[in-house]
Copies of this chain bind each other. A is one copy, B any other.
Amino acid sequence: MVGHTEAEAMALALKLARRGVRGANPLVGAVILDPSGRILSTGFHRGAGTPHAEADALAAAAASGTDVSGATMVVTLEPCNHTGRTGPCSQAIREAGLSRVVYAAADPTAEAAGGAATLAAAGVDTAGGLMAAESGELNHRWIRAMQEHRPFVTVKIAQSLDGRTAAEDGTSQWITGSAARTDGHRIRSRADAVVVGTGTVLADDPQLTARDELGAPALRQPLRVAVGHRPVPAEAAIRGSDGRFLQITEHDPALICRGLYARGARHLMVEGGAMVASAFLRAGLADELVAYVAPLLLGAGTSAVGALGVQTLADASHWRWDETDGGAVRSAGPDLRLRLEPLPASGATPAH
């Protein structure tokens, strides 16, 4: 078997990265090559709280009893240098005895950057920039969020085929089915904070907890955030009893993001109603759009997406189907789940 070049390994690492889920962390893939170019193991990051791609690849090698000393780690993002929910990858790479690290994009965060320098200082041959544009493009919205010191924002909508989120008389439970709702709860369980407007709190009294299909609470629960000026009743379900409730008397998405980022939130899920979701969309503060579409027509009622300030077709808000994480289009029971991300500005060079 002919050995793989580092570029081939990086292309594979990028492909692996696309299996991950978007959120607090970027999509990252890793491939470990021996000096002859043979693939010893691979890994990718499966989302916040799970091992980084480098650690995943090292664990896969260890599990199969493969010696990686003297090998090369090819990874789509600069190995981190900090102890977050997992230990620093730069240290794990050194300890595993790898002799070379090739990465694509530099880590754009202040807290995790510096891994390459640490590795180089420890005598590991390091090279950055291989296919950096592709890696940057894959994570262009996450990079922007980090540069703006705000959480990565997922906007969720649940709508009829004709874009309605409630019928004319305001009834909205349930437009989408239980499979779509369970899928939405899975995103909640990954998010650091879930945001709804006070209008939705008063109209629907949502719990906003993350629950499985049987109603059992997920291990990880987001902060439940009501935004707006209207008082949240003492008996509102969103308050819960775990202290994980917050009201922000503010409508500006940028200020909401700033406040939640300061509290440590790196992944925000905006659940509605339509006015709150539209405010995030209008502000350009939606990094991911998850739309559950039911095979229903309503013909009237509340639009899932309200005024965006678009007057003419040329100024429409452009998105692209996000084929990471199992694909842009999936069925969720009788409904469709669509995932999109904002189209990168044309000609823009991804930051790295």
Q: Are B299 and A162 in contact (CB under 8 A)?
A: no
- CB-contacts of A152-184 with B (<8 A): 159-164, 166-169, 171-173, 175
Size range of the chain A interface in the assembly = 35 or more
Contact B310 A300 (CB under 8 A): yes
Report chain B residues within 8 Å CB of A256.
none
Asked if A264 is at the interface of the complex by the 8 Å CB criterion, the answer is: no
Q: Are A299 and B310 in contact (CB-based, < 8 A)?
A: yes
Closest to A163 in B: B163
Contact B171 A314 (CB under 8 A): yes
CB-based contact A298/B316 at 8 Å: yes
**How far apart sit A31 and B173, CA to CA, in the bound complex (Å)?**
46
B299 contacts A307, C-beta separation under 8 Å: yes
C-alpha spacing A343/B295, complex, angstroms: 9
Q: Closest approach, in angstroms, between the C-beta of A69 and any C-beta of chain B? A: 46
Tell whether A297 is near chain B: CB-to-CB under 8 Å. Answer: yes
Complex CA distance for A281 and B312, rounded to whole angstroms: 27
CB distance from A73 to the nearest CB of B (A): 36
A329 at the interface (CB under 8 A from B): yes
Q: A295 contacts B307, CB within 8 Å?
A: no
Residue A88 interfacial (CB < 8 Å): no
| Complex contact A304–B336 (CB within 8 A) | no
The number of times this chain is found in the oligomer is: 2
A10 to chain B, nearest CB (A): 27
Residue from the list B163, B166, B295, B313 in contact with A162, Cβ < 8 A: B163
Q: List 11 A-B contacts (CB under 8 A).
A: A161-B291, A162-B163, A162-B303, A163-B304, A175-B313, A281-B297, A281-B299, A297-B319, A298-B310, A298-B316, A299-B305
- CB neighbours of A281 from chain B (8 A): 297, 299
Tell whether A318 pairs with B299 under 8 Å between CB atoms, given A168-B312, A171-B313, A329-B329. Answer: no
Closest 3 CB pairs of A and B: A163-B163, A299-B308, A171-B313
Q: Is the CB of B291 within 8 A of A317?
A: no
**Chain B residue at minimum C-beta to C-beta distance from A294:** B316
CB pair B299–A317 under 8 Å, yes or no, is yes
Distance of A299 Cα from B314 Cα, bound (Å): 13
- For A312, list chain B residues within 8 Å (CB): 167-169, 171
